A and B are shown apart, each in its own frame.
Chain A
Amino acid sequence: MKHWRIGVPLVVLLLVAWWMLGVVHGDGAKGAALGGLWVVLAAWVLLLWFVLDALARRQGGRTTQMLAPALFGLALIYLWELLVVGWQVPKVLLPAPHAVGQALVSRWEVLWPDFRQTSVAVLAGYTIGCGAGLLVAVAADRFGMLKRGLLPLANLAGAVPIVGIAPIMVMWFGFDWPSKAAVAAVVTFFPMLVNTLAGLAATDAMHHDLMRTYAAGPAATLMKLRLPSALPFVFNALKLNSTLALISAIVAEFFGSPIVGLGFRISAEVARMNVDVVWAAIALSALAGSMFYGVIATVEKAFTFWHSSYRS
């Protein structure tokens, strides 16, 4: 019974949406002359809300949970297309999704090298920054003096706009990707340091006592107790850093880059007002960001499946 409640309106929504899209893309009158269409659209939105509400009420597994946000997202993109074309919004202000899609395809041979360039910088910087952060954290954990000295400074670094070092990095490492990687490395270093230290310190006193009763040395305690127990914190930082590294690399490219790179593409094409290419580059960056994050989240699951946060 419940399936009819959602299924029937959904089909109606799809059919009406198709029709509206056809009208708007057609050769007929545009803008204000489409007065009747906007009334239909208003009704359509109400029906959509009703369907979303019904979907939101449903309990269920992962796939059911994804239905509501999926429909929400698709509807937003659809409305974007409809309103931009129907109201004849100037392309420079906001291009329609289909224009962005076309730009993505037509300028692919430029966008792909951009993606590659930025990715190299991101991955290199991420690896160096997270690796260094982890090592320094392990050292600081061992030597309390170092920890007490570094931790306040690392916390302070969170307030500083570190991406500002980009011009300096360009001066030192040149215009190519190493300077962007350097920015990403410095930015990702501090969250990794802070989070790993927090994780290493989070071990139970009881677990420490247990290790003491085994007469375990500091190395054994580190490898068998502190590091595994710090993993959830480490992955927290790894996920956070995946976004930070990408942002840093792109922003660093705003400061100056050879003629390749997603950040460069965005700032260059914006200057030429090729807005759909800009949006295509932005979409590509968004895709890169979510994929990177997704990979880390999957790896996280494999390494920290045992943590209480996975059991509600």
Chain B
Amino acid sequence: MSGAAVSAKDLSLVFQSADAPVTALQKVDLTIGRGEFVSLIGPSGCGKTTLLRVIADLERATSGSITVNGVSPEQARLDRAYGYVFQAAALYPWRNVLRNVMLPLEVMQMPAAERRERAMKNLELVGLQGFETKYPWQLSGGMQQRVSIARALAFEPKLLLMDEPFGALDEITRDRLNEQLLRLWERTGKTVVFVTHSISEAVFLSNRIVVMSPRPGRILEVIESRLPPARQLDVRETSEFAAIAHQVRVALRAGHSYE
């Protein structure tokens, strides 16, 4: 599909480790269309983060093919086609919030006035206007992650790659951030690939859920979510939600029995 944001065919990645080769990804076939919100879910070590890193050109696949925005992942990276959000905020403690958000813009050599304007705009998008001069350590974990998201959005990539961004936060904060992320996605129409190991997070956020098996990482099932758009947190109480979550849970359990 030429309009696909990510198109992976027969993708495999084998690590050479000290004892024996480790198959992190095995013949993964996946297509992600533009504007979709796709979650990768699976137990630890199932390769979901590895797959994300291959899309980001932080790892190289050992066989198979993958295109991002129609070009190789390396080209997409050089084109600054995506923003990456890590598990930890990874903010620079020596820069204040505003300068942290401006970091990618500096690297991409954007003029100063434009940098400031974009940074302010994205901080507003994540609801942190007024915090520009604060330093990372003065913010809570949830706020730091929001800055990290603002930073990933600052140069307006079409693709957002998120690796368990809310995993280190408490459930209450995580719920709030999930809602904010969903609203953000609706507003901006970006393509989001989201790695998580929380079933309810995956079901709440995505319109497609990719269930992966433990090592060697394969795609077990891709589940479409029929939840209404513009949904709020209380959709989690509905029976539709429970049905989809149940589907995901069954798929995950099936994957485990392969061991």
Contacts and interface: CB of A to CB of B under 8 A. Distances in A.
Interface of A: 204, 206-207, 209-216, 220, 224-225, 228-229, 231, 304, 306-308, 311
Nearest to A204: B90
Contacts of B93: 306-308
Interface of B: 56-58, 77-78, 80, 82-84, 86, 88, 90, 92-94, 103-104, 106-108, 135, 137
B107 A306 contact: no
A213 B58 contact: yes
Given A204-B90, A206-B90, A207-B90, A214 B137 contact: no
B92 A206 contact: no
Given A211-B107, A214-B103, A308-B137, 11 more contacts: A206-B88, A209-B86, A210-B86, A212-B77, A213-B58, A213-B83, A213-B84, A224-B107, A228-B94, A306-B137, A308-B93
A206 B86 contact: yes
Contacts of A206: 86, 88, 90
A215 B137 CA distance: 27
A191 to B, nearest CB: 23
7 contacts: A210-B84, A210-B86, A212-B58, A212-B77, A214-B107, A224-B106, A304-B94
A228 B92 contact: yes
Of the listed residues A211, A214, A231, A308, the one surrounded by the most CB atoms of chain B closer than 10 A to its CB is A214
Contacts of A307: 93
Contacts of A211: 107
A306 B99 CA distance: 14
Contact of B104 (A209, A214, A225, A311): A214
A215 B135 CA distance: 25
Contacts of A224: 103, 106-107
Nearest to B148: A210
Nearest to B80: A215
B86 A214 contact: no
B82 A213 contact: yes
Contacts, number: 51
Main secondary structure of the interface of B (DSSP, over half): loop
Shortest Cβ-Cβ A-B pairs, 7 listed: A306-B93, A213-B84, A306-B94, A216-B107, A214-B107, A206-B90, A214-B104
A221 to B, nearest CB: 9
A21 B18 CA distance: 75
A260 to B, nearest CB: 43
A105 to B, nearest CB: 46
Nearest to A212: B58
Given A220-B107, A306-B137, A307-B93, A215 B84 contact: no
Contacts of B107: 211, 214-216, 220, 224
A206 B148 CA distance: 13
B10 to A, nearest CB: 25
A306 B135 contact: yes
A283 B86 CA distance: 55
A311 B88 CA distance: 20
Contacts of B86: 206, 209-210
B80 A214 contact: yes
Of A207, A209, A229, A311, the most chain B CB neighbours within 10 A belong to A209
B111 to A, nearest CB: 16
Nearest to A220: B107
Contacts of A216: 107
Contacts of B77: 212-213, 215
A164 B78 CA distance: 53
Contact of A214 (B92, B94, B108): B108
A204 B93 CA distance: 12
B137 A311 contact: yes
Contacts of B80: 214-215
B108 A213 contact: no
Contacts of A210: 84, 86, 90
Nearest to A303: B94
A225 to B, nearest CB: 7
A206 B92 CA distance: 11
Contacts of B56: 213
Contacts of A225: 92
A214 B77 CA distance: 7
A307 B135 CA distance: 11
